[in-house]
Chains A and B, each alone.
Chain A
């Protein structure tokens, strides 16, 4: 915010008006003063003009006088002289009257008065000399009169004229000065009018601009307010509508809830019945579990017997394996014996050969022994093959019995586990029975609760109906507000700056 805006609008208005008023007063004052001054100056100028005019007349009179005096001197006619003398006297009197007037006029300007006094003195001297001249003429001393006229009166007359001219020049100069002064005064008066005038114009312009600005900002503020009003009323309307919708929904929900409560009540009745049934069933189930438990115990015993049998079988098989190994050793021995028999037979044959014809029979025997040895070797190798098969079977049997005993172990473990499971099941069934009992009592309580809920729902229904009425009123009010906003908007639009 600018510092200028801190001053209140009223103060600003007063300030503006005061400035304009002051300026107008200054204009008027300076006009009056200037006119007065100029009037005074013009009076002075008029006066000096008057004086100058009078002096000119005086000069003319003097001229006339002087020329009359000269004519008097020149003429020889006495009548004419007397006429001239009379005329001179009249003129001289006129001049004397002038003198009196002039002195009065020149009271304000002492310098001019002094100079005029000198002129008067010269007049006096001139008159004195002229009297003398007239007297001379009367006496008939014309020559002397001419001398006096030419020698004395002429310079005096000239001096007199020149003095009057000087005074006139002074007066003219003074008039000039006064004219200049009047011009200056009018100039200053013009300045005194123009400057305040200009100031007041500027102030008026500023005030107008400021007023426009103020009104504009006012309109802007009002428009903003109207907009806010519009939005707010719309929001209120929307909210009221929502509330109304919500109330309607509430009514629907209440109706639904009431229906649901009835359903729940029926359901809980059903649940109660079911729970009682569960209780009966669980008692049966626990009997069954007891039976299952004893069966499992029997199974475990059977398994243990099987295990003992399996152990016996395994022992027998191990014995069998040992014995077959012994048989293998024996066959190896038999094989060795056969080999040795073979060699013996060969050696016997060799010996028989050495014996020549005598050993022929022996050679045959040796041959037979040899073939027996071969047969026994073949048989041992067959036995060996069979024995290998037997050993393989034995090892298979060993493995099978091991697997069997393992399976038995697993079986008994499983049987144990199932025993535990059945026990757990029995416990669970017991818990289920208790739960069913609790469910039964709970459903009873539930039914009682449902009966209490029904009137509560009725209350809610009434409250929501009242709510609907209230929101309708609110809607009307909001609509009115909106209309007001519209009206204000139109008004403000008309008021455009």
Chain B
């Protein structure tokens, strides 16, 4: 057991060293949680992620927008479930019936997005994010920060949550 702990400590140190070098090399780093959606890599800053979870039950709500798949009870809180494929007008392909969801939140609002699969967290330098050309902006493009060099689409968590909040709460009221 002591050996394993030793090994793990060494590995943690090594990882920490890498982060430090990244910080010094590429300016401000942000930790991102990445996931798969219609075969594409997406990522969102972990500061907007409350938790990742398996969905066991979900209640569809009639008379709501098509991208609202339903609502879910997570430890006593009712959280809306968003189908990002419909929200971003993506094709319904890839893993259609996944049970993985990510709960997003800011100071005022919480919502869960359905994903095809949840991938590990990793660090991304702000400078490596290339903005999306302005002439390609469509319905959902304003909620994207840009694309990294290794083709990961970065979602603007703040904007997305705000948009969801305004859309869904306005509807409700």
Footprint of B on A, CB under 8 Å?
339-340, 342-343, 345-347, 349-350, 353-354, 360-361, 363-365, 367-368, 370
Q: Which of B36-59 contact A (CB under 8 A)?
A: 46-47, 49-54
Which applies to chain B's interface (DSSP): helix, strand, loop or mixed?
Answer: strand
- For the complex, give the distance between the alpha carbons of A354 and B49 in Å: 10
A90 to chain B, nearest CB (A): 205
- Cβ of B63 under 8 Å from chain A: no
- Cβ of B148 under 8 Å from chain A: no
Residue of A nearest to B16 (CB): A360
Query: Which one, B9, B11, B16, B121, contacts A346 given CB within 8 A?
Result: B121
- For the complex, give the distance between the alpha carbons of A317 and B81 in Å: 47
- For the complex, give the distance between the alpha carbons of A72 and B73 in Å: 228
Query: Which one, A345, A353, A360, A361, contacts B46 given CB within 8 A?
Result: A353
- For the complex, give the distance between the alpha carbons of A353 and B45 in Å: 10
B43 to chain A, nearest CB (A): 13
Q: When A343-B53, A343-B54 are in contact, do A349 and B8 touch as well, CB less than 8 Å?
A: no
Q: Point out the residues of chain B lying under 8 angstroms from A347, CB to CB.
A: 51-53
Q: Point out the residues of chain B lying under 8 angstroms from A363, CB to CB.
A: 12, 15
Residue of A nearest to B15 (CB): A364
Instruction: Say whether A346 contacts B120, CB under 8 Å.
Output: yes
Which applies to chain A's interface (DSSP): helix, strand, loop or mixed?
Answer: helix
Q: Point out the residues of chain B lying under 8 angstroms from A346, CB to CB.
A: 33, 52, 118, 120-121
A-B contact count (CB 8 A): 51
Residue of B nearest to A361 (CB): B12
Q: Point out the residues of chain A lying under 8 angstroms from B12, CB to CB.
A: 360-361, 363-365
Q: Can you spell out 28 A-B residue pairs with CB atoms less than 8 angstroms apart?
A: A340-B54, A342-B118, A343-B52, A343-B54, A343-B118, A346-B33, A346-B52, A346-B118, A346-B120, A346-B121, A347-B51, A349-B33, A349-B120, A349-B121, A350-B33, A350-B49, A350-B51, A353-B46, A353-B121, A354-B47, A360-B12, A361-B12, A363-B15, A364-B8, A365-B8, A365-B12, A368-B11, A370-B120
- For the complex, give the distance between the alpha carbons of A368 and B4 in Å: 11
- For the complex, give the distance between the alpha carbons of A340 and B52 in Å: 10
Q: Point out the residues of chain A lying under 8 angstroms from B8, CB to CB.
A: 364-365, 368
Q: Point out the residues of chain B lying under 8 angstroms from A349, CB to CB.
A: 33, 46, 120-121
Q: Point out the residues of chain A lying under 8 angstroms from B11, CB to CB.
A: 364, 368
- Cβ of B31 under 8 Å from chain A: yes
Footprint of A on B, CB under 8 Å?
8-9, 11-12, 15-16, 31, 33, 46-47, 49-54, 100, 118, 120-121
A141 to chain B, nearest CB (A): 217
- For the complex, give the distance between the alpha carbons of A343 and B49 in Å: 13
A340, A342, A370: residue with the most chain B Cβ atoms closer than 10 Å: A342
Q: Point out the residues of chain B lying under 8 angstroms from A340, CB to CB.
A: 54
Query: Which one, B9, B31, B100, contacts A343 given CB within 8 A?
Result: B100
Q: Point out the residues of chain A lying under 8 angstroms from B51, CB to CB.
A: 347, 350
Residue of B nearest to A342 (CB): B118
- For the complex, give the distance between the alpha carbons of A122 and B52 in Å: 216
Instruction: Say whether A353 contacts B31, CB under 8 Å.
Output: yes
**Told that A343-B100, A350-B49 touch, could you supply 16 new A-B pairs with CB distance under 8 A?**
A340-B54, A342-B118, A343-B53, A343-B118, A346-B33, A346-B52, A347-B52, A350-B50, A350-B121, A353-B47, A354-B47, A361-B9, A361-B12, A364-B15, A367-B120, A370-B120
B2 to chain A, nearest CB (A): 16
Q: Point out the residues of chain B lying under 8 angstroms from A370, CB to CB.
A: 120
Q: Point out the residues of chain B lying under 8 angstroms from A343, CB to CB.
A: 52-54, 100, 118
Residue of B nearest to A336 (CB): B54
B8, B33, B51, B120: residue with the most chain A Cβ atoms closer than 10 Å: B120
- For the complex, give the distance between the alpha carbons of A342 and B50 in Å: 16
A-B pairs, 7 with minimum CB distance: A364-B12, A346-B52, A353-B46, A349-B121, A347-B51, A353-B31, A361-B12
- For the complex, give the distance between the alpha carbons of A350 and B9 in Å: 19
Q: Point out the residues of chain A lying under 8 angstroms from B16, CB to CB.
A: 360
B9, B33, B53, B121: residue with the most chain A Cβ atoms closer than 10 Å: B121
- For the complex, give the distance between the alpha carbons of A345 and B33 in Å: 12
Residue of A nearest to B52 (CB): A346
Q: Point out the residues of chain A lying under 8 angstroms from B118, CB to CB.
A: 342-343, 346
B33 to chain A, nearest CB (A): 7
- For the complex, give the distance between the alpha carbons of A342 and B49 in Å: 16
- For the complex, give the distance between the alpha carbons of A354 and B50 in Å: 10
- For the complex, give the distance between the alpha carbons of A347 and B121 in Å: 10
- For the complex, give the distance between the alpha carbons of A171 and B20 in Å: 216
Residue of B nearest to A339 (CB): B54
Q: Point out the residues of chain B lying under 8 angstroms from A364, CB to CB.
A: 8, 11-12, 15
Residue of B nearest to A345 (CB): B120
